[in-house]
Amino acid sequence: MRFGDFLKATVLLSAGCATLLATVTVLGINREGDRTLIYVTAAWWLVAIVIGVGLGRRAETSPPIARLLAGARAQTSLPEQQAGTLIVNRLWPLLLGTIGAAVVAFVAPQVASVAAGFTIIWALAWRRQERAVLAIEERDGVRFYVDRTSPFSPIQLIRTPGFSGNYLPTI
């Protein structure tokens, strides 16, 4: 799977998890009827939005992604393509945390509220990284792919030859 596509999928899954957690939070709070929890949750989500927008405002790659791109191993052939397996393999903590917080939300909605805030931050902080990686790929004439590794080991990238040129959509 191309690394830019993986980053895009990560942002979309994080936003989806935030939506799910927000929904179960609202259902849990509605069941309890606690006004204080409503205001604290709304304030936390607004703070999370501000933090996420602040972290994701830069158009260049973040330092961790820059190090990951720099450490990519070169390969001349395309790696094996298994997008679904790769996403589950790399994003299992997000999925497991979301499911756990959603289950607990019916007993303690504040858990899902906090988890929703963190997934909001995550989605907003990483929203521009995919375009930054695409810009580097276009500039250098390479393509970055996510390598298959253990779910517990750090992510590894493969750099393959690509085509250089002006392929990015203009906005």
Residue 47 included in any domain: yes
Identify the residue with better confidence: 155 or 46.
Answer: 46
| Domains held by the chain: number | 1
Q: Which residues contact 110 (CB under 8 A, 6 or more apart)?
A: 37, 40, 41
Which pTM does this prediction carry? 0.84
Residue 166 included in any domain: no
148 — phi, psi (to 5°)?
Answer: -75, 120
26-63 per-position pLDDT tens digit? 999 888 778 899 999 999 999 999 999 999 888 788 88
Residue 168 included in any domain: no
In this prediction, residues 150-166 reach a mean pLDDT of 82
The whole-angstrom separation of Cα 118 and Cα 44 is 10
Residue 169 included in any domain: no
The whole-angstrom separation of Cα 80 and Cα 146 is 10
The whole-angstrom separation of Cα 112 and Cα 28 is 9
Domain span at residue 141 reads: 3-161
Residue 170 included in any domain: no
Residue 167 included in any domain: no
CA distances from 114 to 26, 40, 52 (A): 12, 10, 14
Residue 167, Cβ density class (10 Å: 0-12 exposed, 13-18 middle, ≥19 buried):
exposed
Report the percentage of the chain scoring pLDDT > 90: 48
124-134 per-position pLDDT tens digit? 999 999 998 98
Residue 80 included in any domain: yes
The whole-angstrom separation of Cα 63 and Cα 91 is 20
Residue 72 included in any domain: yes
